[in-house]
Amino acid sequence: MTIIYVIGLTDISRTLPSYGGVTFTRWGKTSCPEESKLIYRGQMASPDLNAAGGGANYLCLDSDPSYQPNSPSNHASSYIGRVWYQVIRDHYTVSPLTYHSVPCSVCESARGRVTHLMLPAQTRCPSSEWTLEYSGYLMSSASHGDPSGTPTTRYYRTSYVCVDTDFESFSTRHNTAWEGSPLYLVQAECQRSGTLASCPPYQPRKALSCAVCTK
């Protein structure tokens, strides 16, 4: 004789592991989206603009750092410094946040969301299965000469990040712009050699958007 046990959904849910959410960085903000939880906040950092080495990615450095006991201190090091906005809008209008350092927040999404996606050139998520954490502007380091004509000796590659459309900054404005790393809006290349194959619909000299989604 076969015995069939019927277990309620509530009982089954008690036996399943409790999964947390996926983590993501919200660049340009000191807080997390409404349904997510703040893990820590800090400042955006990378090698200096003219550095030949160092990491190729941006970091969100914790605002309350701690060090290992007896941490070494010497001059043979890989240095990391501040990232600051270099935002020029239409007709070369400079944003009031230019030369200000960039904040960041590391967040955990709502429980049960285990996939994270940064979608470039979009303001929305791929489908209704995804949840929009935030949208913003695609940004990175400079890829060619600065519009102001200020000479630089080298450029290094960084990652592309999605900076919140309502981006904030630290209150202190740094007078020495060319120390640290500038963060630029990204635009499609449609007017020179090596342009995108899909111009249009991409438009020249127009800042690309981005969306950060979880599922």
User: Does residue 154 register a pLDDT over 70?
Assistant: no
First to last CA, the chain: 44
What integer is the mean pLDDT of 142-159? 59
Is 119 in contact with 53 (CB distance < 8 Å)? no
What integer is the mean pLDDT of 164-173? 86
Query: What is the pTM for the complete model shown?
Result: 0.82
User: Does residue 95 register a pLDDT over 50?
Assistant: yes
What integer is the mean pLDDT of 58-85? 86
**pLDDT for 73:** 78
- If you search the block for the tokens 């519009």, which residue do you land on? 147
In angstroms, rounded to a whole number, what is the distance separating the alpha carbons of residues 114 and 26?
17
What integer is the mean pLDDT of 138-145? 77
For residues 152 and 169, the model is more confident at 169
**pLDDT for 12:** 43
User: Does residue 105 register a pLDDT over 70?
Assistant: yes
User: Does residue 209 register a pLDDT over 90?
Assistant: yes
Secondary structure string (H, E, C) spanning 78-120: CCCEEEEECCECHHHCECCCCCEECEEEEEECCCCCCCEEEEE
Residues 6+ apart with CB under 8 A from 193: none
Is 134 in contact with 63 (CB distance < 8 Å)? no
With bands split at pLDDT 50, 70 and 90, how would you rate the model's confidence at 28?
Answer: very high
What integer is the mean pLDDT of 199-208? 86
**pLDDT for 132:** 97
**pLDDT for 139:** 94
User: Does residue 34 register a pLDDT over 60?
Assistant: yes
